[in-house]
A = this chain, B = another copy of it.
Amino acid sequence: MKQLENDTNLPRYDRCAALLMEVVPLIMRVIRAEIRGVAEMSVPQFRAMGFLSRHPGTPLSGLAEHIGLTMPTMSKMIDGLVDRQLVTRQSSSSDRRRIELALTPEGLALLESVRGHISVRLSEKLRSLPEQSLIAINRSLGELRSAFTLPGEVGIGTEG
């Protein structure tokens, strides 16, 4: 079954996939622990706040869709963030069914603080690597981002 023309690259893909299966959860754990520890917040909450920082005024339905949660789930999540005064929830003047969500200044500050803490923690781990490796890793991560970003989708560090 490896005779087909398209299969010549499969071992390389397999190797890459196996490495991703191994490395990605390791790094995800660091990120999750930092979000929890610094802000007592789940990853989806953090992603939602990141999205709102880029798209203030987003309605609940749009946010739920972008983050990949149902509206009831997002509604409850926003309840909690509003209670913590990290997010504002305001009826739209043009369509009173809609609510426009945005970060409070405290929410934005917390978001930036968490991002900074994650960056510091990840950098600590990266310090063992030589300069030349970091250059290559940066390029590789940029290519992985292209490969895994669907049109309309966003990442944790940027939009959601």
Choice from B120, B126, B157 contacting A147 with Cβ under 8 Å: B126
Q: Does A153 contact B (CB under 8 A)?
A: yes
Q: Does A89 contact B (CB under 8 A)?
A: no
Which chain B residue shows the least CB distance to A15?
B138
Chain A, 100-126, CB within 8 A of any chain B CB: 115, 118-120, 122-123, 125-126
Report the copy number of this chain in the oligomer.
2
Q: Does A92 contact B (CB under 8 A)?
A: no
What is the bound-complex CA distance between A20 and B157, given in angstroms? 8
Q: How large is the interface on A (under 10, 10 to 19, 20 to 34, 35 or more residues)?
A: 35 or more
> Which segment of A5-13, A51-59, A71-79 sits at the interface?
A5-13
Known: A134-B12, A138-B12. A157 touches B28 (CB 8 A): no
Whether the pair A31, B24 counts as a contact (CB closer than 8 A) is: yes
